[in-house]
Amino acid sequence: MFTIDTYQHKKILVLGLAKSGVTAAALLHKLGAFVTVNDFKPLSENTEAQGLLEQGITVICGSHPVELMEEGFELVVKNPGIPYSNPMVKRAFEKNIPVITEVELAYQISEAPFIAITGTNGKTTTTTLIFEMLKEGAKHPLIAGNIGTVASGVAQEATKENTIVIELSSFQLMGIDTFKPRIGVLTNLYEAHLDYHETKAEYNQAKANITKNQDQDDYFIYNADQEEVEEIARKTKATLVPFSAVKDLGRGAYVRDRWLMYGDERIIRRDEVALPGAHNLENILSAIASAKLSGVANDAIRIVLKTFTGVRHRLQFVAEKSGRKIYNDSKATNILATTKALEAFDAPVILLAGGLDRGNEFDELILALKKVKALVTFGQTAGKIEEAGIKAGIKTIVRADNVEGAVPKAYQLSEPGDVILLSPACASWDQYKTFEVRGDMFIEAVHKL
């Protein structure tokens, strides 16, 4: 890492802990800053804060007192999950105190260049594909961000021989200043996180920050099938590398005659790719472009694409049993994600769906449900999803107590050649702590079959 003196003897507030806050606070302390940490969780229940206290860092826990902002801080490093409407953040802006996220710190100390991936859907799959391609191509990648370890932790260990492949959310990107990836990837833009961003325009602008500091020596890989993404591409100073799942671009990454292409090179036939789903084609093409720009050989790219079957809980192939293929898509916590998952399959689908009731209806799912052979529901939204299933003309609909109970019911309704798919269209919090726990319970129940 670069040992910078930017923060030496500066008074800095780290607002909100979790893993990113802990790592940022410890790093700033090491760089000579006078660090104060403020976290909402009481100190008696806050092992992370207790650990920082032992390092000699000032810790204030149990609330977010706005009056703390009067203590002369020169910088706030904010946990990405804390909204900009938070009174302390608003007060920081009123006092012209810069507010960043720890990704900015990671960039400032990193000897390694970054490949940064953002977008509404496909970030994790794209990030993982790029990482695997660079690893297969002996390019010494490290993985960070939402998918891996905290960026500012990874950056401390990285050397100029590495490349940091990082998944970034809109929350993180709102808090960058100088962050400049050598390769930036924007997979797509859909309406999301409006409880945080308030408007789609603000959300889009946050995503656009991935390329705001790039210049002609950097690359911006973007989805040429979406006008909103192309609008961002038109404003960047980076070298543009488009991808398209539907248009023969003749440049960048695209499909021609069932071949996945990069420029004028045939990379791999579409039917040789292990990862299912039309929506994953976008992820694959953007990963190919990233790997090619990083100097990865075609053979290494092909090896990954022939063997990679998906990220855990994201349209993950679990098993084949008696002619039924079983997939875990527990990460599908909204209607759009489940629609994309259903579009991935030509075979009849037994769908397992349900979860936390956020007050929405499921009429937008009806069209996608028309290809579902049988529906097994669970959780708070079971009744609402059943109503959508009835409107879609599904004749076989049953209810289970939870995911574990849904698996044997789905198997009993299936036949050889069917797909059994967990794609809930809802968050997990009514019955499970996280979508990962829900997916793990599904996998365990599948193995019990």
Shared domain check, 164 and 30:
no
Report CA dihedral (251, 169, 277, 357) to the nearest 10 degrees: -150
Specify the pLDDT at position 195: 64
pLDDT digits (tens, 9 = 90+) for 393-425: 999 999 999 999 999 999 999 999 999 999 999
Q: State yes or no: 124 annotated in a binding site.
A: yes
Specify the pLDDT at position 276: 81
Report CA dihedral (176, 177, 178, 184) to the nearest 10 degrees: 40
Specify the pLDDT at position 296: 98
Shared domain check, 37 and 110:
no
Domain boundary among 78, 100, 122: 100
Kindly tell me if the per-residue pLDDT of 200 is higher than 90: no
| Arithmetic mean of pLDDT, 186-191 | 88
Flag the least confident range among 37-46, 112-121, 187-196: 187-196
Shared domain check, 293 and 145:
yes
Cα 412 to chain centroid, rounded: 34
Q: State yes or no: 126 annotated in a binding site.
A: no
Structure token pair of residue 41:
């969780």
Q: Which domain holds residue 123?
A: 103-307
Considering the domain boundaries, does residue 150 fall inside one?
yes
Shared domain check, 169 and 246:
yes
Q: The domain that contains 340 carries what CATH number? A: 3.90.190.20
Give percent helix, percent strand, percent coil of the chain, each to the nearest 5. Answer: 40, 20, 40
pLDDT digits (tens, 9 = 90+) for 54-109: 999 999 999 999 999 999 999 999 999 898 889 999 999 999 999 999 999 999 99
Burial 357-389 (b: 16+ CB within 10 A, else e): eeeeebeebbebbebbbbbbbbbbbbebbbbbb
Question: Which residues share a beta bridge with 316?
Answer: 328
DSSP code string of 283-325:
HHHHHHHHHHHTT--HHHHHHHHHH----TTSSEEEEEETTEE
DSSP code string of 383-449:
HHHHHHHHHTT-SEEEE-SSHHHHHHHHHHH--TT-EEEE--SS-STTT-SSHHHHHHHHHHHHHH-
Specify the pLDDT at position 197: 62
Q: State yes or no: 121 annotated in a binding site.
A: yes
Domains contained in the chain, number: 3
Domain boundary among 307, 338, 367: 307
| Pairwise CA distance, residues 205 & 228, whole Å | 11
| Arithmetic mean of pLDDT, 426-437 | 95
| Arithmetic mean of pLDDT, 174-179 | 96
Q: What pTM did the predictor assign?
A: 0.82
Considering the domain boundaries, does residue 253 fall inside one?
yes
Shared domain check, 207 and 110:
yes
| Pair 446, 330: CB distance under 8 Å | no
Kindly tell me if the per-residue pLDDT of 219 is higher than 70: yes
| Arithmetic mean of pLDDT, 118-137 | 94
Specify the pLDDT at position 186: 98
| Pairwise CA distance, residues 398 & 353, whole Å | 11
Give strand ranges (E) for 72-129: 75-78, 99-100, 114-118
Report CA dihedral (165, 78, 17, 72) to the nearest 10 degrees: 140
Q: Specify whether the backbone of 119 is left (phi greater than 0), alpha (psi in -120 to 50) or beta.
A: left
| Arithmetic mean of pLDDT, 206-230 | 97
Q: The domain that contains 86 carries what CATH number? A: 3.40.50.720
Considering the domain boundaries, does residue 2 fall inside one?
no
Shared domain check, 21 and 109:
no
Phi first, then psi: what are they for 448, rounded to 5°?
-70, -20
Shared domain check, 382 and 236:
no
| Arithmetic mean of pLDDT, 308-314 | 86
Kindly tell me if the per-residue pLDDT of 145 is higher than 90: no
Place 193 in a pLDDT band, splitting at 50, 70 and 90: low
Considering the domain boundaries, does residue 6 fall inside one?
no
Shared domain check, 117 and 87:
no
| Arithmetic mean of pLDDT, 252-270 | 97
Shared domain check, 293 and 206:
yes
Q: State yes or no: 383 annotated in a binding site.
A: no
Considering the domain boundaries, does residue 191 fall inside one?
yes
What share of the chain has pLDDT > 70, as a percent? Answer: 98
Considering the domain boundaries, does residue 5 fall inside one?
no
In total, the chain counts a number of residues equal to 449
Flag the least confident range among 167-181, 196-210, 247-261, 287-301: 196-210
Instruction: Provide the mean pLDDT of the chain.
Output: 95
| Pair 110, 1: CB distance under 8 Å | yes
Specify the pLDDT at position 244: 97
Q: State yes or no: 148 annotated in a binding site.
A: no
Shared domain check, 353 and 245:
no
Flag the least confident range among 275-279, 329-333, 406-410: 275-279
Domain boundary among 55, 84, 100: 100
| Pair 323, 347: CB distance under 8 Å | no
Question: Which residues share a beta bridge with 221?
Answer: 185, 241
Place 446 in a pLDDT band, splitting at 50, 70 and 90: very high
Question: Which residues share a beta bridge with 420?
Answer: 326, 350
Specify the pLDDT at position 194: 61
Shared domain check, 286 and 139:
yes
Shared domain check, 137 and 66:
no
Residue 411: what residue type?
A: Y
